[in-house]
Amino acid sequence: MKPLQPSDALARVVGSKAIPRTQVVKKLWDYIKKNGLQDKKNRRLINADENLKPVFNGKNQVSMFDMTKLVSKHLS
């Protein structure tokens, strides 16, 4: 896969180096699990912290399916 450059907002979570989309998603999940951001009752929801909120368009919580759509907008 072709390496993509993360936006400044996404770089706070996955790093600023250009990496393939698969690695972006892997690093994002590593960050979510490390910081306990997966909703306790509904595991399909991700709670945003101060680093993820700009990536999630200011939303406090998104579904894991919406997350991939929102992250795509931060890759070029």
What is the mean pLDDT of the segment spanning 59-65?
Answer: 96
Q: What is the pLDDT of residue 48?
A: 97
Q: What is the pLDDT of residue 58?
A: 96
* Residue appearing with tokens 């992250």: 71
* Residue appearing with tokens 């945003």: 48
Q: What domains, with CATH codes, occur in the chain?
A: 8-72 (1.10.245.10)
Token digits of residue 17: 């180096």
What is the mean pLDDT of the segment spanning 61-66?
Answer: 95
- What is the sign of the dihedral through the CA atoms of 12, 17, 23 and 25? positive
Q: What is the pLDDT of residue 1?
A: 83
Give tens-digit pLDDT for 1-60. Answer: 899 999 999 999 999 999 999 999 999 999 999 999 999 999 999 999 999 999 999 999
- What is the sign of the dihedral through the CA atoms of 17, 22, 23 and 26? positive
- Report which secondary-structure segment, H or E, holds 36: none
Q: What is the pLDDT of residue 9?
A: 95
